Amino acid sequence: MYADLRRAGRTDALEDTIDYKAIKKQILHIAENSQFYLIEALAETIADECLKNPRIERVKVVLEKPGALRFARTVGVEIVRDRNPVDLE
């Protein structure tokens, strides 16, 4: 997660930073209750959930699916999403 945390660094106050525990709980809830076929869809949903927090400007989500392919230890995706994406199309 990318955010401007300068204020939290100066104040050392919990209310000036991201509630990482709450975000972790939201992500676990999404993952545990998901019925996605693709890890790409799960990654997008996790990114969307993180970006609901007004302090988070950008998020990088890395997901792996061990044992998905024979003879491969794992497969995975990595996505980066911004709160205000630039339309490249």
Q: Which of 24, 25, 60, 65 is catalytic?
A: 65
Tokens at 29, concatenated: 């809830």
65 part of the active site: yes
Structure-model confidence comparison of residues 65 and 62, the more confident one: 62
Which pLDDT score is estimated for 22? 95
Encode pLDDT of 11-44 as tens digits. 999 999 999 999 999 999 999 999 999 999 999 9
pLDDT band at 68 (very low <50, low <70, confident <90, very high): confident
Phi, psi of 21 (to 5 degrees): -65, -40
pTM of the model as a whole: 0.85
Grade residue 70 by pLDDT with cuts at 50, 70 and 90: confident
Domains of the chain: 2-82 (3.30.1130.10)
Q: Are the C-beta atoms of residues 75 and 65 closer than 8 Å to each other?
A: yes
Mean pLDDT computed over every residue of the chain: 92
